[in-house]
Structure 1
Amino acid sequence: MDPPVVPADRLGGWRRVAETTDRPFVAGPVSVTASTVRYERSDAPGPRPFCFASRLRIRPETAPNVALTRLVERRAREGFRDRLAERDVEAVERRGDREIAIDDPDASRATLWTFRGDCRTDAADGRDGEGAGAVPVEALLAVWATDEYFLAGGAYPLDAGAYSDGRGPADARRELLGIVRGVRPPARGANRDGNE
């Protein structure tokens, strides 16, 4: 199963760091397979902003519905917290949720959650002369459906010192939201960078 497409024109300064397919959920005859692509900003010191997009396949095949959407959303939030923990983000707090439009005209509105936490850092993270400490980060997670479910999101530092060239956290948030909104199902004949 191919991962979703992230349009190449929204990935300036980002590099693909992983593409995985795994089975995050199995309960009796029901299973969920997730195909995920992950990117990091190539021009940022630690902690590096990252983003990801996942496409879910549920077996036995089931059309999106209210109960299933609630389950997918709950499991997605739990999995996202695990993903943040793997990236040394601690003390994660949910800061709110809202609906956003996705660029795909066949998609439902996405539920977007905002989280905040602290990323442990050390001198090896490439921050100018700083020793161990914590950098506040904001993380976003969106879940929506077409005829299948999609997840997308990422995180970025809230510390202005983590940015160069006049960029800041507000720019990082706008950029991440643009990437999330641009995620779409893979199209026949499309290559892995989102170009057809």
Structure 2
Amino acid sequence: MVTAPDYPSVPAEKLAGWELVEESVETLFQLPAVRVVGATRQYEDEQLRTAVRDASDGEIDHRWRFFAATRLGFDPMLPPGTMPSMILPTMRSEAKKTFKKRLQSRGVEDIERGRRERVRIRSGKRARLIRYNGVDPVAGGVPVTGWVGVWNDGTDFFVVTGGYPARPLSEALDLEESADGLDRTGNEAQGEFLDMLRDVQ
């Protein structure tokens, strides 16, 4: 049995307002001769949740933004000489399936796959990201965006996912207040997500 992978980390300064809601180590999927194990940390934006709850006089209490980082391990270990490029396509395929199911479990509807992007992370490697668009049915429907990114930093494989409202919640929920992130645009939320993703290690 391979030693479980270490949990990935995100710099503390990037997590202001976020809450670690779950840590888990579990088998993510099975390849023909290898079991893929993931050590995952999941975060929720509690600051935004509180802001919406306060601005709606307690009528809307919902988790709006999430971020999750996973470091992968293999049982048994990958054979010597296995190149990341040999298994990254399989990692991406499985990550996409799992992420779509996660969006569905959060209640997101009308999920459609969007564009792909490549982002350079702090190590200098590139992560390939795939965007998903959907609708969170809470309060009549709020458009949301989700991303799943997969990469190898030369040693470890990582999967990072995240999701956020695609419109300012002050507009989508018709809230008068715009403090504490209620006026955050989809582009601003995307920038914050990518900034966190780049620092995962």
Instruction: Give the alignment's TM-score, normalised by structure 2.
Output: 0.79
* Aligned CA distance change for structure 1 residues 110 and 28 (closer, same or farther; 3 Å): closer
After superposition, the C-alpha distances for 1:122-170 in whole angstroms (9 at most, x for unaligned) are: xxxxxxxx4xx22110011111002221011200011312583243222
State the superposition RMSD in angstroms.
Answer: 1.7
C-alpha distance in structure 2 between counterparts of 1:161 and 1:87, whole Å = 18
Matching of residues 54-133 of structure 1 within 5 Å: 54-62=70-78, 63-105=82-124, 108-121=125-138, 130=139, 133=140
Matching of residues 130-169 of structure 1 within 5 Å: 130=139, 133-146=140-153, 147-161=155-169, 164-165=178-179, 166-169=183-186
- 1:36 counterpart letter in structure 2: T
Equivalent residue, structure 1, for 2:13: 9
Show structure 2 runs of 5+ residues with no match: 50-61, 172-177
C-alpha distance in structure 2 between counterparts of 1:4 and 1:64, whole Å = 21
Contact 2:114 2:133 in 1 (8 A): yes
Contact 1:140 1:154 in 2 (8 A): yes
After superposition, the C-alpha distances for 1:31-81 in whole angstroms (9 at most, x for unaligned) are: 000010011111223341000000000223224432311000000010111
Quote the sequence identity (%): 30
Larger Cα-atom Rg: 2
Contact 1:156 1:169 in 2 (8 A): yes
After superposition, the C-alpha distances for 1:7-45 in whole angstroms (9 at most, x for unaligned) are: 111111111111111101124531000010011111223
Pairing 1:53–2:57 present? no
Q: Which moved more, 1:20-29 or 1:89-98?
A: 20-29
C-alpha distance in structure 2 between counterparts of 1:32 and 1:134, whole Å = 36
C-alpha distance in structure 1 between counterparts of 2:47 and 2:170, whole Å = 10
* Aligned CA distance change for structure 1 residues 71 and 27 (closer, same or farther; 3 Å): closer
C-alpha distance in structure 2 between counterparts of 1:92 and 1:135, whole Å = 13
TM superposition outliers: structure 1 runs of 4+ over 3 Å: none
C-alpha distance in structure 1 between counterparts of 2:162 and 2:170, whole Å = 16
C-alpha distance in structure 2 between counterparts of 1:183 and 1:38, whole Å = 13
C-alpha distance in structure 1 between counterparts of 2:83 and 2:68, whole Å = 21
* Aligned CA distance change for structure 1 residues 31 and 162 (closer, same or farther; 3 Å): farther
Aligned residue for 1:10, secondary structure, equals: helix
Aligned residues: 172
- 1:72 counterpart letter in structure 2: M
C-alpha distance in structure 1 between counterparts of 2:75 and 2:151, whole Å = 18
Instruction: Give the alignment's TM-score, normalised by structure 1.
Output: 0.81
Equivalent residue, structure 1, for 2:188: 171
Which has a greater percent of helix? 2
